[in-house]
A and B are shown apart, each in its own frame.
Chain A
Amino acid sequence: MRVVIGEDQVLMREGLRLVLEGAGFTIEALAEDARDLVRRVIGLRPDLVIADIRMPPDLTDDGLRAVLELRGERPGLPVMVLSQHVQRRYAVELLRHDDRGVGYLLKERIADLETFIADLHRVLDGGTVLDPVVVAAMMDRPRPGDPLAGLTGRQREVLALMAEGRSNAAIAARLHVTEKSVVRHVSLVYNALGIDQSSEDHRRVLAVVRYLSR
């Protein structure tokens, strides 16, 4: 699998290279700023883009804008966006039009090698990965007449894992319950949130995130 990395910090860039090469990825290019990243990706057409949000030239959200621009050109281009901090707003922007092949994690998640590599593969396969911190921020957000208030603790856990992009099987494994009971919880959550039950398995993150972002 061919990867282009956009990261301006040397330590982080080299760390990523080591991790990815160790896991069998091919590093096609290492870009140090957002413009270079866009250029490289357009030229090299990699299978996966990994990008830091804050990058030169503006050192604001340049990396995110580059990724959104690239996905505008190549819908479904798998991207993993990394940041020192996560923002609900950025998650919504990343998922706004298309939730296929999107990952958004805190940089420190790289330390958990196995999980990180697995997350990369899920993104490559068109899945969605959202950092638990983003999901928690969305769910804990204060709002008038909070409909989540009616959910049980277990239902909230299921909702959070759904938003992170986990499949029913993964949720069942994580919560040590049967997949059948997960399906039952998911259905109750959909009801509570008023989300269309017919959401396909991999479209449900979009539905949940859209709901949570209202």
Chain B
Amino acid sequence: MGAVCVAGTEFALILHQGGQYAFISSFFPVLGLVYVTTGLVAWARRPSSRLGLLLVVAGGFALLAEVTAVDAPVPVAVGMIVGTVVLAVIVQLLLSFPTGRLHTTTERVVVLAAYFVSLPLQAPLYLFAAGNPLSLADRPDLADAGLQVQRIAGAIVILATAALLIGRMRRARPEQRRVLVPLSVYGIFALLVVPVSSALEHSVFEGDPVQRTILQLVSLGLVPIVFLIASSRGGFDRTSDLAELGVWLGSDEAGRPELRAALATTLGDPSVQVLFRVHGEEALVDDLGFPVALPAHANGRGTVDVELGGRAVGAITYDAMLVDRPEEIREAGRIVAIALDRQRLTVELRASRARIAATADGERRRIARDLHDGLQARLVLLAVQAAGRGDQATLRAGIQSAIEELRELVNGVMPAQLTERGLAAAVEDLRDRLPMPIELHVAGLEQRLRLDVESAAYFVLSEAISNALKHAGPAALTVSLERTGGQLVLAVADDGAGGARARAGSGIRGMADRVEALGGELYVDSVPGRGTRVRAVIPCAS
């Protein structure tokens, strides 16, 4: 309504003032009106897209440029200052089609440059021209120089815009390209019409501004209509740019950008971070498996959880300044949840591999240290005693204790019973060495299992038992091993303190890794004050 009033007033004023070109000039407000109208239509059709808003803004500037008709110092000044802003808005429209949002830094730079050309670089044209309210001096030479600078800068911006558009067209799907190509070609044409036709006014139009103005009016007036048509065609008629994510999901995995990049582009926030909720880790982890402290909201970062099938699989953090609607991120999270979950599994697997490797390294270091600090030192001492005519009995006792130490060490690395007799025998042997009696149930283990299954099972049991004895202080401890069907089921239950948790670096994490490496699962049920139950199920097809 306001726009119609403004346009009507301008229209009336221009006609009222009359003059040689009044008829033609009166169409400038009409141009503004066309922008505003198409903008409102586009806005109504796609509320999530900013395209409509941009068109309305462009129309606003077009109308503002014509307030010079009021012929008072302030409106004239305002009109001169914003005279060419509509061209910058067209650049922004072209680069942000179809969502109305800019997605890359380059795009933002080009759009900023466009506004720079049409606002500050416009200044010399009125500052150094005579007969206007903003005139500083009548210096046609400076005004001319300013015009040249503006033209060159403008040409660069248009070239950059064209280059970005060409890039987009090449990446677009065929049905999108059918729309992008005419839109972009026409957009560049419209951008070129105003400066080029003005520059060529004397040579081509023979000094007749009427033809030139008609050409400019028509070219610029068609821009919003072209946008309106384009935004409803060629796969751009989706409700939001989030639908782009759906397209990303469906595209060939080898050729598409990774999840984070896709989210960053779609949401227009290059700082978007994807975090994962992995097994046995309380904090969210990044794509390398490292725990990440969630950024505080005060830092201008927002976080939205991603769920899949009612289970938290990860989170997306974003720049709350750039993305003002968390609902949009949440929606994006819903769309990419499956892809995120898959990447989560990869992260989880990589992390567990790294942990297993680290555990093995740690074991080697421990063995090396035990050999070096214990046995080697003892042998050196024996050698010294032997050289110094030490007495036979002492020497023999020293050797004997060295042998015993070695035996303990070897048994710790790989229990002899496990190698010679298998899991059940090794666990019975382990039971015999414990400081307290335990209840042991063994079933279905008459046959040997695969060596890796036996080792993992033994490791898990001995770790669970030693955890129980060390931390829980139980009065009773029950251990069971049972092979049923194609599964080996291990359970260690105590009536101790409870409250065991799978922290990073804890024994539980290591047990889970061993079990999961064999395709099994580890369950820990540990309520403070109600004991701990560790249960492992390992597949072991015979």
Q: Which A residues have a C-beta under 8 Å from some C-beta of B?
A: 53-54, 59-61, 84-85, 87-89, 108, 111-112, 137, 141-144
B411 touches A60 (CB 8 A): no
Known A-B contacts: A59-B419, A89-B417, A89-B429. Give 4 more (CB < 8 A).
A60-B419, A84-B416, A85-B416, A142-B432
Contacts A87-B429, A89-B428, A141-B432; is A60 near B396 (CB within 8 Å)?
A: no
Interface flag for B400 (CB, 8 Å): yes
Residue of A with least CB distance to B407: A85
Interface flag for B214 (CB, 8 Å): no
Main secondary structure of the interface of A (DSSP, over half): loop
Residues of A within 8 A of B396 (CB): 111-112
Q: Interface residue count for B (Cβ, 8 Å)?
A: 21
The 8 closest A-B pairs by CB, nearest first: A60-B420, A61-B420, A142-B437, A141-B432, A144-B437, A108-B403, A85-B416, A143-B437
Contacts A108-B400, A108-B403; is A87 near B416 (CB within 8 Å)?
A: yes
Number of A-B residue pairs, CB cutoff 8 Å, is 42
B435 touches A142 (CB 8 A): yes
Residue of B with least CB distance to A54: B420
Residues of B within 8 A of A88 (CB): 429, 432
Residues of A within 8 A of B202 (CB): none
Within 8 A of A (CB), among B401-423: 403, 407, 410-411, 416-417, 419-421
A-B contact pairs, 20 of them (CB 8 A): A54-B416, A54-B420, A59-B419, A61-B420, A61-B421, A84-B407, A85-B411, A85-B416, A87-B416, A87-B417, A88-B432, A89-B417, A89-B421, A89-B428, A111-B399, A111-B400, A142-B435, A142-B437, A142-B438, A144-B437
Main secondary structure of the interface of B (DSSP, over half): helix
Distance in angstroms from B410 CB to nearest chain A CB is 8
* 0/1 interface trace, chain B 375-413, chain A, CB 8 Å (1 if under): 000000000000000000000100110010001001100
Residues of B within 8 A of A87 (CB): 416-417, 429
Contact of A89 among B407, B425, B434 (CB under 8 A): B425
Distance in angstroms from B481 CB to nearest chain A CB is 16
- Complex CA distance for A143 and B432, rounded to whole angstroms: 9
Distance in angstroms from B43 CB to nearest chain A CB is 80
Distance in angstroms from B107 CB to nearest chain A CB is 69
Residue of A with least CB distance to B403: A108
Interface flag for B436 (CB, 8 Å): yes
Residue of B with least CB distance to A88: B432
- Complex CA distance for A84 and B420, rounded to whole angstroms: 12
Residues of B within 8 A of A89 (CB): 417, 421, 425, 428-429
Residues of A within 8 A of B421 (CB): 60-61, 89
B407 touches A142 (CB 8 A): no
Residue of B with least CB distance to A61: B420
Distance in angstroms from B389 CB to nearest chain A CB is 19
Residue of A with least CB distance to B421: A61
Output the residue of A53, A54, A137, A142 with the most chain B CB within 10 A.
A142
Contact of B436 among A53, A54, A84, A142 (CB under 8 A): A142
Distance in angstroms from B426 CB to nearest chain A CB is 10
Distance in angstroms from B429 CB to nearest chain A CB is 7
- Complex CA distance for A40 and B379, rounded to whole angstroms: 39
- Complex CA distance for A61 and B420, rounded to whole angstroms: 5
- Complex CA distance for A4 and B437, rounded to whole angstroms: 41
Residues of A within 8 A of B436 (CB): 142
Distance in angstroms from B414 CB to nearest chain A CB is 11
- Complex CA distance for A50 and B280, rounded to whole angstroms: 52
Residue of B with least CB distance to A143: B437
- Complex CA distance for A142 and B436, rounded to whole angstroms: 5
Residues of A within 8 A of B399 (CB): 111
Residues of A within 8 A of B411 (CB): 85
Residue of B with least CB distance to A85: B416
- Complex CA distance for A96 and B421, rounded to whole angstroms: 18
Residues of A within 8 A of B407 (CB): 84-85
Distance in angstroms from A100 CB to nearest chain B CB is 25
Residues of B within 8 A of A143 (CB): 437
- Complex CA distance for A108 and B396, rounded to whole angstroms: 11
- Complex CA distance for A107 and B438, rounded to whole angstroms: 31
Residue of B with least CB distance to A84: B407
Residue of A with least CB distance to B425: A89
Residues of B within 8 A of A53 (CB): 420
Residues of A within 8 A of B429 (CB): 87-89
Residue of A with least CB distance to B396: A111
* 0/1 interface trace, chain B 422-454, chain A, CB 8 Å (1 if under): 000100110010111110000000000000000
Distance in angstroms from B397 CB to nearest chain A CB is 11
Residue of B with least CB distance to A138: B432
Residues of B within 8 A of A111 (CB): 396, 399-400
Distance in angstroms from A140 CB to nearest chain B CB is 8
Residue of B with least CB distance to A58: B420
Residues of A within 8 A of B410 (CB): 84-85
A137 touches B420 (CB 8 A): no
A137 touches B432 (CB 8 A): yes
Output the residue of A54, A59, A87, A137 with the most chain B CB within 10 A.
A87
Residue of A with least CB distance to B416: A85
Residues of A within 8 A of B420 (CB): 53-54, 60-61
- Complex CA distance for A141 and B411, rounded to whole angstroms: 18
Distance in angstroms from B358 CB to nearest chain A CB is 30
Contact of B434 among A61, A142, A144 (CB under 8 A): A142
Residue of A with least CB distance to B436: A142
Residues of A within 8 A of B403 (CB): 108
Residue of B with least CB distance to A89: B425
- Complex CA distance for A144 and B437, rounded to whole angstroms: 6
Output the residue of A60, A88, A137 with the most chain B CB within 10 A.
A60
Output the residue of B416, B420, B429 with the most chain A CB within 10 A.
B420
- Complex CA distance for A137 and B431, rounded to whole angstroms: 11
Residues of B within 8 A of A54 (CB): 416, 420
Residue of A with least CB distance to B476: A144
- Complex CA distance for A88 and B416, rounded to whole angstroms: 13
- Complex CA distance for A99 and B432, rounded to whole angstroms: 23
Within 8 A of A (CB), among B7-62: none
Residues of A within 8 A of B438 (CB): 142
Residue of B with least CB distance to A107: B403
Residues of B within 8 A of A108 (CB): 400, 403
- Complex CA distance for A5 and B416, rounded to whole angstroms: 22
